[in-house]
Amino acid sequence: MDRHRATLLIVDDTPENLTVLGELLQPTYRVRAANSGQRALQIAASDPQPDLILLDVMMPDMDGYAVLAHLQEDLRTRDIPVIFVTAMDSTEEEEHGLDCGAVDYITKPLRPAIVMARVRAQLEVKYARDWLKNQNSYLEAEVARRMSENQLIQEVSIHALARLAETRDPETGNHLRRTQEYVLTLARGLQPNPRFSAYLTERTIEALAKSAPLHDIGKVGIPDHILLKPGKLTPEEWEIMKTHSSLGSEAIAQAERDAAKPVEFLAIAKEIAHYHHEKWDGRGYPEGLEGDQIPVSARLMALADVFDALITRRVYKPPMPFDTARDIIAGERGGHFDPDVVDAFLKHFDHFQSIAERYGDGE
């Protein structure tokens, strides 16, 4: 904005008053004039928009108060400061004008020095306000940019860690992406359920999605001869394999301890890593929890993980048809899985299937 040639709009139904104000202001400012409230609104909303409006109060059809009200209702004009210009010089009238939102109040007959001083003062206030607004907009954009950048770095780091586990188990393919999408689908489906609604806030669902890829991070601690064994594990080897859940949760817990402050998604990631092999009926590991003792995050991950294992090719088995996998999951309602989680899975089974097909392993 050219501070030395600000645009002013003067509004008065009397031509003589417009002439007086125009001659006073034109040497310093660009001046636009309106002889009615309706015309003033049209000019205020058009380019170049005025930086300040000097508005007569007593006008026919639409008085100054009505004009100001319309200006404040319009997003295009609500930030334009208005000085009331009027012959009414009572304290009550001035207070009323200021209460309506005018920034100042000039009484007639006009005194040139007073008018110029008031105009100059209000323009300076506007310049300062606009500068702050621009600074705030810049700062908000910069904060958003940095948050987005940090978010991206965080997500890339999470996936790098998760991929570290998967490099030791190359058969898993797009398992991370699929299970992440399954967990999101279950969380969204369970949001309206009174058992889950308090927990499954938008913030928590976002953290769940971010955390899900870390569910098997503990596999980096399992020896190759067990992790990569093509055949069935011996009981002793299976006991070692089961330690991946506690290895993963301990690694994440250490990351939490290293953090300067609590990180929400790490707390959820730790839950998922530790408890996603627990079963609703208590037959799971590592702690044999049952029912609602098992964290919600782990209950969602449990179903997502098992479904993906069923439909995916392994060295020891072919991929299972979707309908067969669905029936197996349904058969474990109240057994391996929380009944409500199974119900959500069945309700959204078509979406599970589309996720599996979209992020398939190129079979």
Map out the domains of the chain as residue ranges.
3-139, 167-358
pLDDT over 70 at 142, yes or no: yes
* Phi, psi for residue 123 in degrees, rounded to 5: -65, -40
Q: Mean pLDDT throughout 240-250? A: 93
Report the pLDDT value the prediction gives residue 361, as an integer from 0 to 100.
75
Is residue 146's pLDDT more than 90? no
Cα–Cα distance, 131 to 125 (Å, whole number): 10
Across the range 232-243, mean pLDDT stands at: 94
Is CATH 1.10.3210.10 what the domain over 167-358 is classified as, yes or no? yes
Determine the average pLDDT of the residues in 210-225.
88
In this structure, the number of other CB atoms found within 10 A of the CB of residue 110 comes to: 15
**Is residue 95 pLDDT above 80, yes or no?**
yes
Residue 72 confidence (pLDDT) above 90 = yes
Q: How confident is the model at residue 163 (pLDDT cuts 50, 70, 90)?
A: low
Average pLDDT score over residue span 260-266: 77
pLDDT higher than 50, residue 326: yes
Question: Which pLDDT band holds residue 87 (cuts at 50, 70, 90)?
Answer: confident
Q: With the CA atoms of 299, 302, 304 and 308 taken in that order, what torsion angle do they form, in degrees rounded to the nearest 10?
A: -170
Helix (H, G, I), strand (E, B) or coil at 186: helix
**For the whole model, what pTM was predicted?**
0.59
Q: Please give the C-alpha separations between residue 228 and each of 171, 238, 315, in angstroms, as whole numbers.
A: 10, 12, 10
For all residues of the chain together, what is the average pLDDT? Answer: 88
Percent over 90 (pLDDT), the chain: 60
Among 85-94, 129-138, 205-214, 324-333, which is the least confidently predicted range?
A: 85-94
pLDDT score, position 153: 62
Question: Rounded mean pLDDT of 179-205?
Answer: 96
Please check the confidence at residue 2 and state whether its pLDDT lies above 50.
Answer: no
Strands, E, within the chain: which ranges?
A: 7-11, 30-34, 52-56, 82-86, 104-107
Query: CB under 8 Å, gap of 24 or more: what pairs does 122-131 form?
Result: 122/52, 122/81, 122/83, 123/3, 123/6, 123/51, 123/52, 125/81, 126/51, 126/52, 126/81, 127/1, 127/3, 130/1
- Fold assignment, 3-139: Rossmann fold (3.40.50)
Lowest mean pLDDT among 22-31, 65-74, 101-110, 194-203: 101-110
The answer to whether 85 and 57 are in contact (CB under 8 A) is yes
Whether 152 has a pLDDT exceeding 80, the answer reads no
Q: What is the mean pLDDT of the segment spanning 195-212? A: 93
Preceding omega of 213 cis (within 30 degrees of 0): no
Q: What does the alpha-carbon distance between residue 145 and residue 152 come to, in Å, rounded to a whole number?
A: 11
Output the pLDDT for position 168. Answer: 62
